[in-house]
């Protein structure tokens, strides 16, 4: 971290900024979405949050002179790292096709021109993407702008992330978000973690895990990779300790299952519970299952139990990659615990069967009544700092998730009712030439999406690309025929509007909504806030509407919160007042109170028919490996801070592939060899990445791992969670190409 601070040339001021991170009177960290404790720790941040802060507060600037010096073609020759490292954008820019340079443009002209272009388009050919960092206020204005324009094309980074959760949990529990709060960690007796790399991607959760470990709570982890960061506790808040490796042991057990083997593991545990419950009841001992709960609160148990019993141990062991004894150990801890919580991340959601697997996890919790009581629950760990909040304030392509009738009345318009495009559908529309414009509120889709080989050339055919952004990235260079960069304030910066400095709000992974106020002077005086840019665009592209006071809302964001409060009186009642309470406020989740808003009015057991995580791309062994694309501790998604993956001990390059020693031997490879990978599916598209260094790693035979986004060219667009369309980035079938 010291290295990032030094490189960004702002060590002292960043250090001061960090003391105000995730505090009630400071700003909400721009990194992950993990819950903020109340009262806060003295320094409520972690190594990665500190890096993200330093990255935003860099002293480097790129203005008109930078773009005058480099044509877009020249910029394209720079690495992704160098693009972001160049510094903060300082003023709006428009691409000039005659010179191939981005050139400065006034805000008025930019809004006017974009408005004219959009007015000439069919609304359903325009995509309004949101990356999960923008505030509730900006997100609410963004979705309203898109809907007033006439489309529900509101994909969000959540489509590539926890959409499997957002589809699964409403079916199982009647609410799309987790049921766990920070307090539950104090009461839990057992923590199961599936496919979430806590130390890297939600490091502040180590506080809660460490406290639980001190109480001897079993913490059981399932991950194909050995993630050292999780094994031992290093206090993520103490700058001095950031570099210290190892102190207290956190994990009780660490199971190295196969990628996509979670479904088999969960069914195995459930099968044992059913057997033990049969035995206990036959012998007159206390039941293992929570029968009063199952009977009073759930639906579909009989079918569920029958399907679980029908799966044999051969199949469970083969598909999970774990011997029965290992699964039994977890089942015993689970059966003993009074209150269990299940924490999970991308290792569950980014598979073809991502939705079914999340549903199976919920079912396992339901078997012992582990939803809706202290210390128990399901805990999807969200990614971006406000991704959950954005979806809650209706940035969604699914019209049924937005209160369209209420908005129709509030703003006297007829909202579009046609389903919009999610991220995968938007990418397909770009590839097919059906989409004409993409507007991005943050993000870097040209890098974060699958199918790069087809996507990049198609992206250049778009009529219009508009990027609301803080720094330069690849998606600014692979651009449409009309292309704008609209640079915005970071939320670490003071956002001054007519009524004074503004606050914005963010919802964390545990549904707590926090205020965030900027503390630093803006990187440039020409920057606008995200709400101001959205209002500028909206006024230019939409006919005036006396009910929508864009200008007034920007003058005082409290008025946007009043609007949000009117759309959902239960969630956002008294929004402005409650936001200012110390610790923020909790958005209610009925499942926490065992109020099940499902079709049957009960919690629903799932139907675990298949144990295959990737039903139509079966990993057969042989020459096909299951490739997982993961994050290092030196990146935030497509933003790469450096090439050292400290916890995994991989240094110097991210163009690597981790392999098991046995696979290396079989393939005749040794550490340091250079290979290529190609996607092993037969669909007429060639997908290859070359120049990858072989790194021996502790992971099961038959699989491989490497980094997102470098390996995204290997991911077919159609290889996604079936019901949720989350790209199945955690098991891409690949073959090794020797010597390339």
CA distance 42 to 35: 15
Q: Toward ligand MGD, which CB reaches closer, 345 or 416?
A: 345
* Coil, strand or helix at 483: strand
Write each residue from 161 to 200 as x if it is in contact with ligand MGD (CB under 6 A), else as -, in one continuous string.
x--------------------------------xxxx--x
CA distance 171 to 578: 30
Question: Binds 224, which of Mo ion, ligand MGD, none (CB < 5 to 8 A, cut-off by type)?
Answer: ligand MGD
Q: How far is the CB of 26 from ligand MGD (least distance, A)?
A: 16
CA distance 386 to 366: 28
Dihedral sign for Cα atoms in the order 181, 184, 185, 190: negative
Using rule CB under 6 A, residue 260 touches ligand MGD: yes
Q: Toward ligand MGD, which CB reaches closer, 219 or 289?
A: 219
Using rule CB under 6 A, residue 448 touches ligand MGD: yes
Neighbours of 576 (CB within 10 A): 17
Token pair of 137, please? 């206020």
Dihedral sign for Cα atoms in the order 726, 361, 268, 347: positive
Among 131, 333, 511, 516, binds ligand MGD (CB under 6 A): 131
Size of the site for ligand MGD (CB under 6 A): 62
- Residues between 624 and 683 that touch ligand MGD (CB under 6 A): 628-631, 633, 635-639
Write each residue from 689 to 728 as x if it is in contact with ligand MGD (CB under 6 A), else as -, in one continuous string.
-------------------x---x--x-----------x-
First and final C-alpha spacing in the chain: 34
Which DSSP category does 283 fall into?
Answer: T
Instruction: Please give the C-alpha separations between residue 191 and each of 249, 338, 371, in angstroms, as whole numbers.
Output: 14, 11, 13
Q: How far is the CB of 633 from Mo ion (least distance, A)?
A: 16
Using rule CB under 6 A, residue 473 touches ligand MGD: yes
* Coil, strand or helix at 694: strand
CA distance 73 to 422: 30
Neighbours of 81 (CB within 10 A): 15
Question: Binds 638, which of Mo ion, ligand MGD, none (CB < 5 to 8 A, cut-off by type)?
Answer: ligand MGD
Q: Toward Mo ion, which CB reaches closer, 35 or 251?
A: 35
CA distance 669 to 692: 12
Q: Toward Mo ion, which CB reaches closer, 58 or 165?
A: 165
Ramachandran bin of 87, using left for φ above 0, alpha for ψ from -120 to 50, beta for the remaining angles? left
Among 264, 366, 441, 523, binds ligand MGD (CB under 6 A): 441
Using rule CB under 6 A, residue 157 touches ligand MGD: yes
Residue number of the CB closest to Mo ion reads 383
Question: Binds 105, which of Mo ion, ligand MGD, none (CB < 5 to 8 A, cut-off by type)?
Answer: none
Instruction: Please give the C-alpha separations between residue 346 and each of 52, 209, 260, in angstroms, as whole numbers.
Output: 21, 19, 11
Q: How far is the CB of 391 from Mo ion (least distance, A)?
A: 12
Q: Toward Mo ion, which CB reaches closer, 162 or 517?
A: 162
Q: Toward ligand MGD, which CB reaches closer, 415 or 727?
A: 727
Question: Binds 730, which of Mo ion, ligand MGD, none (CB < 5 to 8 A, cut-off by type)?
Answer: ligand MGD
Q: How far is the CB of 352 from ligand MGD (least distance, A)?
A: 11
Q: Which window, 217-225, 452-460, 521-529, 569-577, contacts ligand MGD (CB under 6 A)?
A: 217-225
Dihedral sign for Cα atoms in the order 90, 95, 99, 101: positive
Token pair of 263, please? 């479904």
Phi first, then psi: what are they for 336, rounded to 5°?
-80, -30
Q: Do residues 633 and 229 touch, judged by C-beta distance below 8 A? A: yes
Which DSSP category does 256 fall into?
Answer: -
Using rule CB under 6 A, residue 383 touches ligand MGD: yes
Among 14, 22, 444, 502, binds ligand MGD (CB under 6 A): 444
Q: How far is the CB of 195 from ligand MGD (least distance, A)?
A: 3
Q: Toward ligand MGD, which CB reaches closer, 528 or 564?
A: 528
Walk across the sheet containing 464-469 and list its strands: 101-104, 93-96, 482-487, 464-469, 437-441, 126-130
Q: Which window, 18-26, 205-213, 216-224, 521-529, contacts ligand MGD (CB under 6 A)?
A: 216-224
Neighbours of 432 (CB within 10 A): 10
Residues 6+ apart with CB under 8 A from 289: 273, 274, 277, 367, 368
Q: Toward ligand MGD, which CB reaches closer, 585 or 647?
A: 647
Q: How far is the CB of 218 from ligand MGD (least distance, A)?
A: 17
Q: Do residues 8 and 57 touch, judged by C-beta distance below 8 A? A: yes
Q: How far is the CB of 65 from ligand MGD (least distance, A)?
A: 20
Q: Half-sphere exposure (CA, 13 Å, Cβ side) for 143?
A: 33
Which DSSP category does 21 fall into?
Answer: B
CA distance 353 to 349: 8
Q: How far is the CB of 666 from ligand MGD (least distance, A)?
A: 22
CA distance 505 to 539: 23
Q: How far is the CB of 75 from Mo ion (least distance, A)?
A: 26
Using rule CB under 6 A, residue 430 touches ligand MGD: no
Among 35, 225, 466, 478, binds ligand MGD (CB under 6 A): 225
Using rule CB under 6 A, residue 534 touches ligand MGD: no
User: Which DSSP helix (H) or strand (E) runs through 640?
Assistant: strand 639-640
Q: Toward ligand MGD, which CB reaches closer, 442 or 584?
A: 442
Binding site for Mo ion (CB under 5 A): 161, 383
Which DSSP category does 40 fall into?
Answer: P
Q: Toward ligand MGD, which CB reaches closer, 290 or 710?
A: 710
Q: Do residues 159 and 307 touch, judged by C-beta distance below 8 A? A: no
Q: What does the angle CA 531 – CA 534 – CA 540 come to, to the nearest 5 degrees?
A: 140
Q: How far is the CB of 29 from Mo ion (least distance, A)?
A: 15
Q: How far is the CB of 298 from ligand MGD (least distance, A)?
A: 25
Interacting residues with ligand MGD (CB under 6 A): 31-32, 48, 84, 131, 133-134, 157, 160-161, 194-197, 200-201, 222-225, 227, 257, 259-260, 262, 345-347, 350, 383-384, 441-445, 448, 468-471, 473, 488, 490-491, 530, 628-631, 633, 635-639, 708, 712, 715, 727, 729-730
């Amino acid at each position: 971290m010291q290295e990032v601070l030094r490189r960004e040339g702002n060590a002292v001021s960043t250090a001061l900024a960090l003391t105000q991170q995730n505090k009630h009177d400071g700003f909400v960290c721009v990194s992950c979405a993990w819950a903020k404790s109340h009262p806060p720790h003295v320094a409520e941040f972690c190594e990665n949050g500190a890096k993200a802060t330093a990255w935003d507060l860099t002293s480097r600037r790129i203005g008109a002179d930078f773009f005058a010096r480099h044509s877009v073609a020249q910029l394209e020759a720079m690495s992704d790292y160098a693009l972001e490292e160049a510094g903060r954008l300082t003023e709006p820019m428009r691409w000039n096709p005659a010179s191939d340079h981005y050139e400065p443009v006034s805000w008025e002209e930019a809004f006017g021109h974009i408005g004219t272009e959009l007015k000439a388009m069919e609304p359903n050919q325009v995509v309004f993407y949101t990356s999960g960092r923008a505030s509730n206020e900006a997100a609410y204005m963004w979705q309203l702008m898109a809907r007033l324009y006439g489309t529900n094309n509101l994909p969000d980074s959540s489509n590539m992330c926890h959409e499997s959760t957002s589809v699964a949990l409403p079916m199982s529990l009647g609410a799309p978000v987790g049921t766990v709060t920070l307090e539950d960690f104090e009461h839990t007796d057992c923590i199961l973690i599936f496919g979430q790399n806590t130390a890297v991607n939600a490091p502040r959760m180590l506080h809660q895990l460490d406290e639980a470990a001190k109480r001897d709570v079993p913490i059981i982890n399932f991950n194909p990779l050995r993630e050292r960061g999780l094994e031992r506790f290093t206090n993520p808040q103490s700058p001095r300790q950031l570099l210290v490796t190892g102190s207290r042991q956190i994990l009780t057990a660490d199971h190295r299952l196969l990628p996509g083997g979670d479904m088999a593991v969960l069914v195995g545990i459930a099968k044992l519970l059913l057997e033990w419950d049969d035995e206990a009841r036959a012998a007159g001992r206390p039941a293992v299952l929570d029968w009063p709960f199952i009977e009073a609160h759930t639906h579909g148990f009989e079918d569920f139990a029958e399907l679980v019993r029908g799966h044999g141990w051969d199949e469970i062991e083969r598909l999970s990659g774990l011997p029965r004894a290992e699964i039994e150990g977890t089942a015993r801890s689970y059966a003993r615990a009074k209150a269990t919580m299940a924490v999970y991340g991308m290792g569950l959601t980014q598979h073809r069967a991502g939705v079914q697997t999340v549903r199976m996890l919920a079912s396992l919790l339901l078997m012992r009544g582990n939803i809706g009581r202290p210390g128990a629950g399901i805990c999807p760990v969200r990614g971006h700092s406000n991704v959950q909040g954005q979806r809650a304030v209706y940035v969604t392509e699914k019209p049924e998730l937005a209160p369209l009738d209420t908005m129709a009345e509030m703003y006297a318009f007829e909202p579009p009712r046609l389903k919009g495009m999610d991220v995968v559908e938007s990418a397909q529309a770009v590839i097919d030439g059906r989409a004409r414009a993409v507007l991005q509120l943050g993000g870097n889709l040209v890098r974060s999406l699958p199918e790069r080989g087809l996507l990049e050339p198609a992206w250049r055919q778009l009529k219009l690309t508009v990027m609301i952004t803080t720094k330069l990235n690849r998606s600014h260079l692979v651009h449409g025929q009309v292309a704008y960069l609209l640079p915005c304030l970071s939320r670490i910066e003071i956002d001054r509007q007519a009524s004074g400095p503004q606050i914005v709000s963010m919802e964390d992974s545990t549904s707590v909504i926090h205020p965030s106020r900027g503390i630093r002077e803006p990187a440039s005086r020409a920057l606008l806030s995200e709400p101001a840019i959205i209002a500028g665009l909206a006024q230019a592209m939409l006919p005036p509407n006396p009910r929508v006071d864009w200008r007034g809302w920007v003058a005082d964001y409290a008025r946007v919160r009043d609007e949000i409060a009117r759309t959902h009186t239960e969630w956002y009642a008294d929004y402005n007042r409650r936001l200012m309470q110390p610790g923020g406020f909790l958005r209610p989740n009925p499942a926490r109170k065992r109020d099940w808003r499902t079709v049957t009015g009960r919690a629903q057991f799932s139907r675990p028919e298949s144990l295959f995580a990737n039903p139509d791309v079966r990993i057969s062994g042989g020459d096909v490996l299951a490739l997982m694309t993961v994050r290092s501790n030196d990146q935030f998604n497509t933003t790469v801070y450096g090439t050292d993956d400290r916890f995994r001990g991989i240094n110097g390059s991210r163009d690597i592939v981790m392999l098991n020693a046995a696979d290396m031997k079989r393939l005749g490879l040794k550490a340091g060899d250079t290979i290529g990978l190609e996607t092993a599916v037969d669909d007429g598209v060639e997908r290859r990445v070359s120049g990858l260094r072989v790194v021996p790693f502790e992971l099961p035979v038959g699989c491989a791992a490497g980094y997102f986004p470098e390996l995204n060219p290997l991911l077919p667009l159609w290889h996604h969670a079936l019901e949720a369309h989350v790209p199945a980035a955690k098991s891409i079938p690949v073959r090794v190409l020797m010597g390339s």
